[in-house]
């Protein structure tokens, strides 16, 4: 195992592992919400997956593919020859190696002593930053010191736009140009969405060098030849920028103007140099996160502290807080996985962090859902329904549903497995509403609700009102869906979906009545004629909606047939070290007919709607569903950890938290290849704040019912509530809530 967890600020590997490059490329990826850069080495390796992704720049490769976030030009690559030998860790000898990401500064660092196969030794260090201050900037600093004799250095670097998304080339090549014999610029345009990207870069060497400029297909670069004496250190600084015609700040510029603007910005960044860019970025990290909303854990277990900071780091770099037309991808901006698409992962798993830590980001993410209402209305209409139905997978605002139609191989048929989630996983519509409700409850942001929120809640209620079907029992049912547990498809009366649909209808009724009696009837004025506002219909539908409730044994049937399905011994899969091993033995159809859950489903319902169920029912369902849940989705563990905390099973809660942290940060070297797990990372925060601190916002109150892990002495964190920031301190002796001035929020420490 090469991962080291000794420093609470530093994620580190101390062994170069060419078979598992994807691990650190993803978990040590850098970014700022505008862009995300995988932590690939400067030198190229087979098996690497270089990646630079700019939020919201979706493109559709061709009619057979769905839109995806294009993997754009690489500006970090460097080809280095030392005394004629290509620098590569797969050649010669590695005398020492470390690769680390400092979460505090956001700086990535590799330190290497390398011996070429001629026996010549070199000290190399590679530093890199993606600025949190200037969202367009990537800065690199490389130092090379020959240790055993003088050397010739030959370096080639520039802009490489030959990158693809697993073979799909999303760009047409545009202009390439050197300015003032030094600054390089390359323009590329997405083939279908026609977004122009302007990549600019500049490289400087600290020693005299002979320089040649070169261009070839989709590539512009410079070659430098220099002489470096033994013990002398040569420093290479490469500063690069990315701008696109999708950027809000420059949306009125023509492409030529944007190129000029980009060049000017590059020059400014070059004057700051690596050190200045790093300093600015570090200051921003402190302002936004580490000094503003730190989570402090007093414990001797450094990995726990590191894991929570790792979560905060990624939650910061994955969120496109600068632009409300964009949202968080299931892999953030750290890989091609899930094509950059947004799922319910945002509202149910990541959003709570922003609601309580960075409300302006939460607001922006919810505004994205408002701005994508036309696509949601289209999706409902396409299915013959009314109102707004959110796509299971979303990309650009007008793209509508973008879920691919086929996935991995079916072990039985040998054919690609159809992906039905785009058609059937309809609970996303109420998950979005749940996100709005949570945000509103915590922030009391009435102006958001008036401008955006109420309309979403009402029009989603319209969808449910038209989607519910009358059954022979005279009640309304929701048939043929996939619930959160994606191992079951085409099922009827999924407990999660039915409960949430009813809740959405009732929420619409509640808000409608509240608005009726208030002085904000202008909301109705604006919405009348735009959407249907039939409160009686919502009320009527809600009252007739069938919702699965605990049976005589206290078990809520996950769906109409679940409790009758056959049961198999799941021990092998419960003990798996890789997720999804059940697919090695059974296909989707077979799994669908067994009592096995991919991820938290009924238990998630109980967590999110705790008022509906008694503590006894909670316990009974925990006892039933936990053993049947394989946690084959990364979203599952945090839910179970929080519930375990709620039920006083502290050891189990901690064990599940640890497993959730290990999804990305742990020893499985392949789990993050396609990118980090954004929802699961939001779940890490939830385990700490909702689980260990037992925090919830209930009606007009907050609840703190802590269950601190035994080996944590204390936990401090900040929460934004009703526009005010409060500090929570939890110890084994009790809880302290403080803020300047008085606290208007009554505390209730009972867990249920
Ligand atoms: O949204 C999830 C889903 O619940 C399980 N499969 C992966 C999706 C994206 O993370």
Residues 434-485 have pLDDT tens digits of 999 999 999 999 999 999 999 999 999 999 999 999 999 999 999 999 999 9
What average pLDDT is seen over the chain?
A: 95
CA dist., res. 7 & res. 302, Å (int): 7
The pLDDT score that the predictor gives to residue 751 is: 29
The pLDDT score that the predictor gives to residue 739 is: 81
CA dist., res. 176 & res. 57, Å (int): 21
* SS3 (DSSP) at 665: helix
Catalytic choice (486, 626, 658, 674): 486
CA dist., res. 604 & res. 636, Å (int): 9
The pLDDT score that the predictor gives to residue 412 is: 87
* SS3 (DSSP) at 503: helix
Which residue's alpha carbon is nearest to atom 9 within ligand 1?
Answer: 330
Q: pLDDT tens for residues 337-367?
A: 999 999 999 999 999 999 999 999 999 999 9
What values do phi and psi take at 282, rounded to 5?
-60, -45
List the strands of the sheet with 121-130, edge to edge: 3-7, 10-13, 93-102, 107-115, 121-130, 137-146, 234-244, 196-205, 183-190, 171-179
* SS3 (DSSP) at 269: helix
Atom of ligand 1 nearest to the CA of 633: 5
Mean pLDDT of 724-736: 95
CA dist., res. 536 & res. 99, Å (int): 61
Separation of CA 507 and ligand 1 centre (Å): 26
Task: Choose one of 318, 335, 343 to mutate for the ligand 1 pocket test, by most ligand atoms within 8 angstroms of C-beta.
Answer: 343
539 given a catalytic annotation: no
Q: Residue 746 — pLDDT band, cuts 50, 70, 90?
A: very low
Burial track 23-38 (b if 16+ CB lie within 10 A, e otherwise): bbbbbbbbbbbbbbbb
What CA–CA distances, in Å, run from 467 to 384, 419, 426, 456, 748? 9, 21, 10, 16, 39
Atom of ligand 1 nearest to the CA of 677: 10
Which of 693, 652, 651 minimizes the C-alpha distance to 297? 693
The pLDDT score that the predictor gives to residue 748 is: 39
Q: pLDDT tens for residues 25-57?
A: 999 999 999 999 999 999 999 999 999 999 999
CA dist., res. 67 & res. 404, Å (int): 9
The pLDDT score that the predictor gives to residue 733 is: 94
Mean pLDDT of 620-639: 97
Separation of CA 353 and ligand 1 centre (Å): 18
pLDDT for residue 216 is more than 70? yes
The pLDDT score that the predictor gives to residue 750 is: 34
Which residue's alpha carbon is nearest to atom 10 within ligand 1?
Answer: 330
The pLDDT score that the predictor gives to residue 744 is: 42
Separation of CA 393 and ligand 1 centre (Å): 10
Q: Is 667 within 8 Å of 303 (Cβ atoms)?
A: no
The pLDDT score that the predictor gives to residue 712 is: 98
Phi-psi region of 400 (alpha: psi -120 to 50; beta: other; left: phi over 0): left
The pLDDT score that the predictor gives to residue 48 is: 97
In the chain, pLDDT over 70 holds for what percent of residues?
98
What values do phi and psi take at 380, rounded to 5?
-60, -45
Name residue, tokens 């062994």.
15
Q: pLDDT tens for residues 135-192?
A: 999 999 999 999 999 999 999 999 999 999 999 999 999 999 999 999 999 999 999 9
Q: Residue 740 — pLDDT band, cuts 50, 70, 90?
A: low
Q: How many CA atoms lie within 13 A of 251 on its CB side?
A: 5
Q: Is 601 exposed, middle or buried (0-12, 13-18, 19+ CB in 10 A)?
A: buried
Atom of ligand 1 nearest to the CA of 343: 1
Q: Is 496 within 8 Å of 603 (Cβ atoms)?
A: no
Which residue's alpha carbon is nearest to atom 4 within ligand 1?
Answer: 484
* SS3 (DSSP) at 694: coil
CA dist., res. 370 & res. 325, Å (int): 9
Mean pLDDT of 6-35: 97
The pLDDT score that the predictor gives to residue 745 is: 43
The pLDDT score that the predictor gives to residue 411 is: 85
Mean pLDDT of 283-292: 97
The pLDDT score that the predictor gives to residue 1 is: 56
pLDDT for residue 749 is more than 60? no
Mean pLDDT of 212-239: 97
CB atoms within 10 A of CB 593: 15
Separation of CA 93 and ligand 1 centre (Å): 42
Question: In what helix (H) or strand (E) does residue 663 lie, and over which residues does it extend?
Answer: helix 650-665
Separation of CA 168 and ligand 1 centre (Å): 23
Phi-psi region of 167 (alpha: psi -120 to 50; beta: other; left: phi over 0): left
Q: pLDDT tens for residues 696-711?
A: 998 778 999 999 999 9
Residues enclosing ligand 1, CB less than 6 A? 330, 338, 343-345, 486, 633, 635, 679
Q: Which pairs with CB-CB distance under 8 Å and at least 24 residues apart come from 326-330?
A: 326/55, 326/56, 326/368, 327/365, 327/368, 327/369, 327/394, 328/365, 328/678, 329/69, 329/675, 329/678, 330/675, 330/677, 330/678, 330/679
The pLDDT score that the predictor gives to residue 700 is: 77
């Amino acid at each position: 195992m090469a991962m080291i967890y000794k420093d609470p600020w530093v994620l580190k590997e101390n062994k170069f592992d060419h078979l598992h490059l994807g691990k650190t490329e993803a978990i040590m990826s850098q970014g700022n919400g505008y862009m995300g850069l995988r932590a690939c080495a400067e030198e190229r390796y087979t098996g690497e997956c270089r990646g630079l992704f700019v939020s919201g720049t979706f493109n559709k490769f061709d009619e057979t593919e769905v839109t995806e976030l294009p993997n754009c030009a690489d500006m970090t690559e460097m080809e280095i020859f030392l005394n004629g030998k290509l620098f590569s860790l797969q050649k010669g000898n590695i005398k020492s190696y470390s690769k680390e990401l400092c979460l505090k500064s956001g700086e990535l660092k590799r330190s290497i002593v390398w011996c070429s196969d001629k026996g010549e030794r070199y000290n190399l260090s590679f530093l890199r930053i993606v600025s949190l201050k200037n969202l367009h900037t990537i800065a690199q600093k490389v130092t090379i010191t020959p240790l055993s004799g003088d050397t010739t250095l030959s370096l080639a670097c520039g802009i490489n736009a030959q990158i693809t998304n697993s073979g799909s080339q999303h760009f047409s090549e545009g202009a390439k140009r050197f300015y003032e014999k030094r600054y390089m610029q390359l323009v590329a345009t997405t083939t279908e969405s026609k977004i122009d990207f302007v990549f600019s870069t500049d490289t400087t060497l600290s020693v005299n060098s002979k320089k040649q400029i070169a261009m070839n297909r989709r590539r512009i670069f410079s070659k430098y030849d220099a002489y470096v004496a033994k013990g002398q250190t040569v420093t290479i600084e490469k500063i690069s920028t990315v701008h696109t015609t999708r950027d809000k700040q420059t949306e009125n510029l023509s492409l030529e103007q944007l190129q000029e603007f980009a060049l000017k910005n590059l020059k400014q960044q070059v004057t700051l140099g690596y050190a200045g860019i790093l300093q600015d970025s570090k200051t921003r990290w402190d302002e936004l996160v580490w000094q503003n909303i730190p989570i402090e854990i007093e414990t001797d277990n450094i990995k726990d502290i590191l894991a929570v900071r790792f979560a905060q780091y990624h939650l910061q770099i994955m969120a496109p807080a600068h632009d409300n037309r964009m949202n968080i991808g299931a892999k953030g901006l750290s890989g091609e996985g899930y094509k950059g698409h947004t799922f319910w992962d945002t509202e149910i798993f990541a959003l709570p962090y922003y609601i309580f830590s960075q409300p302006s980001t939460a607001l922006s993410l919810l505004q994205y859902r408002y701005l994508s209402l036309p696509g949601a209305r289209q999706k409902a209409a396409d299915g013959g329904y009314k109102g707004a139905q959110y796509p299971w997978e979303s990309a650009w605002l007008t793209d509508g549903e973008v879920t691919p139609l086929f996935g991995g191989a079916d072990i039985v048929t040998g054919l690609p497995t159809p992906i039905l989630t785009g058609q059937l996983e309809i609970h996303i519509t109420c998950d979005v509403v749940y996100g709005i409700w949570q945000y509103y409850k915590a922030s009391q942001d009435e102006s958001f609700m008036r401008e955006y929120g109420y309309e979403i809640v009402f029009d989603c209620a319209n969808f449910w009102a038209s989607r519910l079907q009358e059954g022979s029992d005279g009640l309304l049912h929701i048939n043929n869906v996939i619930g959160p547990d994606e191992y079951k498809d085409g099922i009827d009366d999924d407990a999660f979906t039915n409960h949430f649909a009813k809740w959405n209808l009732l929420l619409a009724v509640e808000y409608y009545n509240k608005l009726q009696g208030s002085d904000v009837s202008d909301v109705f004025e604006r919405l009348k004629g735009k959407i249907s506002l039939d409160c009686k219909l919502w009320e009527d539908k809600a009252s007739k909606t069938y919702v699965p409730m605990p049976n005589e044994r206290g078990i809520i049937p996950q769906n109409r047939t679940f409790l009758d399905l056959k049961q198999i011994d799941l021990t092998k899969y419960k003990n798996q070290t890789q997720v999804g091993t059940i697919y090695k033995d059974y296909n989707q159809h077979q799994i669908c007919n067994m009592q096995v859950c991919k991820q938290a489903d009924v238990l998630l319902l109980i967590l999110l709607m705790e008022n509906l169920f008694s503590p006894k029912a909670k316990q009974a369902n925990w006892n039933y569903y936990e053993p049947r849940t394989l946690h084959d989705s990364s979203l599952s563990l945090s839910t179970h950890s929080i519930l375990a905390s709620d039920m006083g099973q502290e050891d189990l809660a901690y064990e599940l938290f640890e497993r959730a942290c290990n999804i990305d940060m742990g020893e499985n070297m392949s789990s993050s290849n396609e990118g980090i797990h954004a929802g699961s990372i939001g779940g890490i925060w939830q385990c700490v704040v909702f689980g260990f601190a037992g925090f919830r916002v209930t009606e007009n109150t907050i609840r703190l019912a802590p269950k601190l892990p035994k080996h944590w002495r204390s936990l401090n964190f900040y929460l934004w509530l009703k526009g005010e920031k409060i500090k929570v301190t939890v110890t084994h002796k009790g809880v302290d809530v403080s803020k300047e001035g008085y606290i208007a929020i009554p505390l209730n420490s009972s867990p249920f």
